């Protein structure tokens, strides 16, 4: 019976990096929310991954709550998925160690993200930064994930997780599934408002480049009204018009209307009128999310309850996998 058959497992980790952008929401999180019926979803907040750079403990705690409340406000449903903290589950760092012992250190030095991060002036290059992809592989393999939704920047890390699964299976015996990337149907690619040929990113210096999920409505409006547009006055999606195209994509994603439909309505109304309409559509989409967020962030009891329940399921799975892995690797079983 298809109802009793186990659903494939999807796992994706989110770093508790504080406020999310509209790009994170439209490009990724919105899609995760649609996966919950077809897959068994594990959504760890990967807080252990957040300490490879200097940080303040109180900030980490605050960002972790914020991250959780934002995900819930965006529609991740704890009744249909497992939402938990990586640091609260025994198994991630243990598996990290076993996998580390199968990872040539040269492979880690060659990872693009490590090279970029460690080359930044003044970077603190600790071993955690180097081992980041091994811990990520442990996150994935600990739950025997079938699929991992990844953006462009994480493809190399997923490739390492696949290699490690194969290496473990080959060195010991068949243990892990080799996880496949999951490319969601249509993730909107949201570009910077000031620099529409670059991806929208919170690490941009100019805060007018990006829209935050939690920006108050008037700030959203102001940022959208000051987005760069292109020469001419026609509202039309066109590679020659990256600014207008980006706004059309955003408008389409938040309103669930097609680009063609929007072009028809706004084509000749001028940029000003068009931008106002984009701003109102974004505000209308984000206001309920913001309301939910503010309700959740002040209800720590509820947030803890979500983590407890998600963590309980995750921990059971993790223990089961960890015992198997230890046994395969030759450790004496606890009796």
Q: Which residues contact ligand TRP (rule: CB under 6 A)?
A: 11-13, 15, 46, 49, 136, 139-140, 148, 154, 157
Angle, CA of 309, 311 and 312, to the nearest 5°: 65
- In the complex, the smallest distance separating the C-beta of residue 331 from ligand TRP, rounded to whole angstroms, is 25
Catalytic residue among 15, 120, 177, 199: 199
Output 157 or 317, the one with its CB closest to ligand TRP: 157
> Nearest 10 degrees: CA dihedral of 296, 297, 301, 302?
30
Whether the Cβ atoms of residue 69 and residue 293 lie closer than 8 Å to each other: yes
Output 160 or 296, the one with its CB closest to ligand TRP: 160
Whether the Cβ atoms of residue 148 and residue 140 lie closer than 8 Å to each other: yes
Residues contacting residue 88 through CB under 8 Å, at least 6 positions apart:
307, 311, 315
- In the complex, the smallest distance separating the C-beta of residue 59 from ligand TRP, rounded to whole angstroms, is 18
> Nearest 10 degrees: CA dihedral of 142, 143, 147, 149?
-80
- In the complex, the smallest distance separating the C-beta of residue 323 from ligand TRP, rounded to whole angstroms, is 22
> Nearest 10 degrees: CA dihedral of 251, 253, 259, 261?
-80
Output 53 or 105, the one with its CB closest to ligand TRP: 53
- Cβ atoms within 10 Å, residue 154: 18
Active site residue 202: yes
Q: What is the DSSP string of 118-162?
A: HHSTT----HHHHHHHHHHHHHHHTTT-SEEE--GGGHHHHHHHH
State the residue number with the nearest CB to ligand TRP.
13
Active site residue 117: yes
Catalytic residue among 7, 115, 117, 222: 117
Output 138 or 254, the one with its CB closest to ligand TRP: 138
- In the complex, the smallest distance separating the C-beta of residue 302 from ligand TRP, rounded to whole angstroms, is 25
Active site residue 7: no
- In the complex, the smallest distance separating the C-beta of residue 183 from ligand TRP, rounded to whole angstroms, is 14
Output 126 or 226, the one with its CB closest to ligand TRP: 126
The residues that are catalytic are: 117, 199, 202
């Amino acid at each position: 019976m298809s109802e009793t058959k186990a659903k494939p497992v999807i796992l994706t980790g989110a770093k508790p990096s504080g406020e999310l952008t509209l790009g994170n929401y439209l490009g990724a999180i919105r899609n995760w929310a649609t996966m919950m019926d077809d897959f068994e979803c594990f959504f760890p907040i990967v807080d252990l991954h957040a300490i490879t750079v200097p940080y303040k403990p109180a900030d980490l705690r605050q960002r972790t709550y914020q991250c959780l409340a934002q995900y819930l406000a965006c529609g991740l449903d704890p009744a249909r998925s497992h939402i938990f903290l990586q640091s609260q589950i025994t198994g991630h760092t243990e598996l990290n160690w076993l996998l580390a012992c199968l990872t040539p250190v040269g492979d880690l030095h060659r990872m693009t993200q490590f090279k970029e991060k460690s080359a930044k002036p003044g970077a603190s290059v600790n071993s955690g930064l180097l081992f980041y992809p091994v811990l990520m592989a442990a996150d994935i393999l600990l739950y025997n994930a079938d699929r991992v939704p990844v953006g462009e920047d994480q493809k190399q890390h997923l490739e390492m997780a696949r290699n490690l699964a194969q290496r473990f299976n080959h060195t010991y015996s068949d243990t892990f599934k080799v996880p496949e990337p999951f490319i969601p149907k249509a993730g909107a690619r949201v570009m910077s408002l000031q620099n529409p040929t670059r991806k929208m990113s919170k690490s941009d210096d100019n805060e007018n480049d990006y829209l935050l999920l939690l920006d108050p409505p008037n700030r959203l409006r102001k940022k959208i009204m000051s987005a760069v547009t292109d020469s001419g006055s026609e509202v039309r999606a066109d590679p020659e018009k990256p600014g207008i195209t980006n706004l059309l994509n955003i408008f389409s994603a938040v309103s669930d209307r097609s680009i063609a439909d929007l072009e028809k309505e706004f084509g000749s109304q001028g940029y000003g009128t068009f931008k106002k309409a984009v701003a109102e559509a974004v505000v209308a989409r984000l206001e309920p999310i913001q309301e939910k967020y503010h309700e959740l962030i002040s209800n720590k009891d509820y947030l803890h309850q979500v983590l407890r329940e998600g963590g309980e399921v995750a921990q059971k799975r993790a223990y089961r996998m960890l015992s198997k892995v230890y046994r395969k690797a030759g450790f004496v079983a606890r009796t």
